[in-house]
Amino acid sequence: MLTLTLHRPEALNALNTALLGELADILDQSAQDDRIAAVVITGSQRAFAAGADIKEMATLDAVGVLQDPRVGYWKRISQFPKPIIAAVNGFALGGGCELAMHADILIAGHQAQFGQPEINLGIIPGAGGTQRLLRAVGKSTAMQMVLTGEPISAQRAYEAGLISEITQAELTLERAQSIARTIARKAPLAVQQAKDVLLKALDMDLATGLQYERKAFTLLAATQDRNEGIQAFMEKRQPLYKGC
């Protein structure tokens, strides 16, 4: 397990180019490290990330937006093959909310707030905020959040399906790390296949999704970890997975 803490306290962890680039680089390295089974991303008690760096954005014209290196960084983050758990406290706004939605599991402190306030700047979310939000919370809530720019509470985010658990703020990171450790004990190939199949389901009809699931199930049937998992179950012991 690897824990990454966003640390730009002077800007409420606003996501500038340097921070996103560093995050993408670390995730790329972690994808190749067999010792890391899952990644936890967190911020501070006051803010997970309060959005994009507005001062930096102000320097970009239309051409600059087209050439913005952050587009590539976001793509690399979205393609990380291992589970990401977001531990969110405080503000998760704009790019911060989008980063949280890049995670596979979201745990939030009871005072967390989620929002896409870009409309207040005459723009719209540009790092997946409209697409992921709509899929997570449905049309009506997504429309209200994006068109008004008003955030929602952790409780409403939970009820809408954006997050999976609410904790006391001081326990959010601990809970996220506990989930990561649980995942780390599972068969690595099965975990990565499960993540891939679940994400693909968002873009497939049911029949195609079921075929994709069956293909992944069949591939895992040929792994040593599958045999070890079944053998350990029958012998009533903990499995020793090797990722093969």
Query: Is 128 a residue of the active site?
Result: no
The residue from 37, 118, 127, 169 that is catalytic is 118
Cα–Cα distance measured from residue 88 to residue 113, given in angstroms and rounded to the nearest whole number: 9
Q: Which residues pair with 88 in a beta bridge?
A: 108
Q: Which amino acid is at 60?
A: L
Burial class from Cβ neighbours inside 10 Å (0-12, 13-18, 19+) for residue 228 reads middle
Distance CA 78, CA 93 (A): 18
Q: What gap in Å lies between CA 54 and CA 28, rounded to an integer?
A: 26
Q: Please, which residues bridge with residue 106 across strands? A: 86
Known catalytic membership, residue 52 = yes
Task: Check if 21 is active-site.
Answer: no
Kindly name the residue from 98, 112, 136, 187 that is annotated as catalytic. 98
Q: Among the options 47, 49, 52, 100, which is catalytic?
A: 52
Residue 95 bears catalytic tag? yes
Catalytic residue among 51, 94, 95, 126: 95
Question: According to DSSP H, which parts of 68-205 are helical?
Answer: 70-78, 95-102, 129-137, 139-148, 154-160, 172-184, 188-201
The residues carrying an active-site annotation are 52, 95, 98, 118
